[in-house]
Amino acid sequence: MAKKVIEEKKEHSFSLFNSIGGIIGTIITVGTLTFGIGWKIGSWRTENEYENKIRDLQYEKLRLEVEFQNKLQEEKSKWVNEQEQKVTLQEISLFIKNFNDYQKEKK
């Protein structure tokens, strides 16, 4: 009879230990799964944010390059126009020489 009571207490304690172990195991499993899913969602969102930022920066770079090329073309055309409008020293000296020759012929 004493053995039977001891065996029942052992079974009861094993049952309690198993249920506590099961609860702890369940908590650990649920916590790990929740953490893993949260980690995956967070890394996915971060990756998307970085991809969007990279795409935005590439677009901004292209826009600035186009703007730079337009400004460069405008400045080149301005410079060419200025160079065409300038009278060089050679042209002035040639004009004076021709004018002097003309004056000498006239006399």
- Distance in angstroms (rounded) separating the CA atoms of residues 78 and 100: 35
Query: What SS3 class is residue 89?
Result: helix
pLDDT band at 74 (very low <50, low <70, confident <90, very high): very high
Q: Residue holding tokens 């004076």?
A: 96
**Position with higher pLDDT, 5 vs 84:** 84
35 pLDDT more than 90: yes
Neighbours of 71 (CB within 10 A): 10
Of residues 1 and 97, more confidently modeled: 97
| Helix ranges (DSSP H) in the chain | 2-85, 89-106
Q: HSE of 61 in the Cβ direction (CA atoms, 13 Å)?
A: 6
Residue 69 identity (one-letter amino acid): Q
Number of domains in the chain: 1
Joined together, the tokens standing for residue 31 give 């916590």
- Number of neighbouring beta carbons within 10 Å of residue 76: 10
Q: If you average pLDDT over residues 91-98, what whole number do you get?
A: 86
Give the range of the structural domain holding residue 45, as residue numbers without chain letter. Answer: 2-106
- Spatial distance between the Cα atoms of 48 and 40, rounded to a whole number of angstroms: 12
